[in-house]
Structure 1
Amino acid sequence: MRHGRLLILNGPNLNLLGTREPALYGADTLADVERITAQRAEALGYKADFLQSNWEGALVDRLHEARGNTDGVVINPGAFTHTSVALRDALLASELLIAEVHITNVHKREAFRHHSYVSDIAEAVFVGAGIQGYVYGVEALDRALVRRDAL
């Protein structure tokens, strides 16, 4: 069992989960995301820290703070996925392992959602798995950290 930290970041509008477009995003809330993600992280030996922000700079600042004292980040950048070079640069600067998560299958949606500034730097990407994707992200980071530590 590991004893590390994982950062779980959520971008714009994810605070509205459960009420925003429930036909698309479902009835699960951000509190549900945090509960199942924290439970899985704890079961694997990690402390999970959470932040949701509609402000790009808050996410960037939190990544800077995580540098050197966090093992990995599970991130759902929301709309910043498709627009934010600043967030991508902060992810790279953090030197954390990255798992990217999207509740919906972005590839079945509008064409502008098909490009991600995060996917090519992520250890793993989960789309369309609902909030379970966050759990998959934690598990993927754990596997990657175990592999890294074995080297």
Structure 2
Amino acid sequence: MAKPVYVLNGPNLNLLGRREPDIYGGKTLADIEADCRGRAVDLGLGIEFRQSNHEGVLVDWIQEASEHGSGVIINPGAYGHTSIALHDAIRAVEPLPVIEVHISNIHAREPFRHRSMIAPAAVGMICGLGPIGYALALEALAARI
């Protein structure tokens, strides 16, 4: 079987379903994982679905994906706006394709959320489409790998 796609989730995404449902909707991270697993099967992909509130753990997983994965989908949460470490980790594993996903439209929110540190290192970004953004990212990676 082909190497799996790593689906990595950053801080506070473990609180989906109860965290600001007016912004993030009612789905839990477990719901999103189930949706991703179903879509991955349809696309003939395996996935490694993970979440951490710790920046260094996410860096470790990006590096792991460079050896054991075929691509990365990352919802970095707030680290997307601040983390040079995640940016550098993604650059370090090129040409592994990385797609950034955000459930909300970061460009329509507070000004500090408008800039992504991840986007310049990623092959693409999907934001503002809700949890379906993960499935769209899986489709984009399937077409690429």
Aligned residue pairs, count: 144
Q: Flag as ranges the 4+ runs of structure 1 deviating above 6 A.
A: none
User: Deviations for 1:103-140, whole angstroms, at most 9, x for unmatched residues?
Assistant: 00011000110100111222221111100000001111
Instruction: Say which is worse superposed, 80-89 or 93-102, in terms of deviation.
Output: 93-102
Take 1:35 and 1:44, find their aligned partners in 2: how far apart are those partners? 14
- 1:16 to 2:15 alignment: yes
Q: Look up the match of 1:149.
A: none
Tell me the TM-score normalised to structure 2 length: 0.94
Matched position secondary structure for 2:46: strand
Instruction: Say which is worse superposed, 59-68 or 126-135, in terms of deviation.
Output: 59-68
Amino acid at match of 2:73: V
Take 1:32 and 1:15, find their aligned partners in 2: how far apart are those partners? 11
Listed as ranges, the gaps of 5+ residues in structure 2 are none
Q: Look up the match of 1:42.
A: 41
CA RMSD across the alignment = 1.2
**Residue 45 of structure 1: how far off its partner (Å):** 1.3
Q: Look up the match of 1:70.
A: 69
Q: Look up the match of 1:57.
A: 56
Matched position secondary structure for 1:120: coil
User: Deviations for 1:80-118, whole angstroms, at most 9, x for unmatched residues?
Assistant: 001000011111222320111000001100011010011
> What fraction of aligned residue pairs are identical, expressed as a percent?
50
CA contact (8 A) 1:76 1:100 kept: yes
Amino acid at match of 1:87: L
Q: Look up the match of 1:26.
A: 25
Take 2:121 and 2:83, find their aligned partners in 1: how far apart are those partners? 14
CA contact (8 A) 2:2 2:70 kept: no
Q: Look up the match of 1:87.
A: 86
Q: Look up the match of 2:128.
A: 128
Take 2:16 and 2:111, find their aligned partners in 1: how far apart are those partners? 23
